[in-house]
Structure 1
Amino acid sequence: MSSKKSVKVKTPSGKEVELVPEKAWVLAPKGRKGVKIGLFKDPESGKYFRHKLPDDYPV
C-alpha cells in the first residue's frame, strides 16, 4: 500500500510542511508516462488535498 515516506508539500493554507500521503497512485493517459499523485490531509483545517509526488516515490 502506501509507504511511510514523508514529502514536503504546500498545504491549501499556504504553509510548507512534511506530510505522509494517506494514499498514492499513478495518474497516466493511455500510452504515456504518468505522474504520481498523493492524497494528503491538512493538519490545520482537516481538509484533504492532492499533490504531485516525486518520480522516485514508491507507490
Structure 2
Amino acid sequence: MKTYFLTVYSNKGEALLDEQIEANSEDEAKTIATQKLEENDYKDTTHRLVSPDARLLLFHR
C-alpha cells in the first residue's frame, strides 16, 4: 500500500483537512478521497490529492 495526501483549504488558505490515505492504487486513493470530501461536505471546497511521488491526482479550486 502507498500513502496519498488529501488536503482541503479554506478561502483564507488555512488547512481544514489534512489526511493521509492508504491505498493500493491511484484509482482507489481517488475513490477514498472523494468519499471523505463528500462525508465532510468539502466537495466544492479547494482541495488536492497528491501521490507519494508528488503527482497531483485531484484538484479543485
- What range describes the TM-score normalised by the shorter chain of this pair? under 0.3
Higher fraction of helix: 2
Q: Give the TM-score of the pair, scaled to structure 1.
A: 0.28
Bigger CA radius of gyration: 1
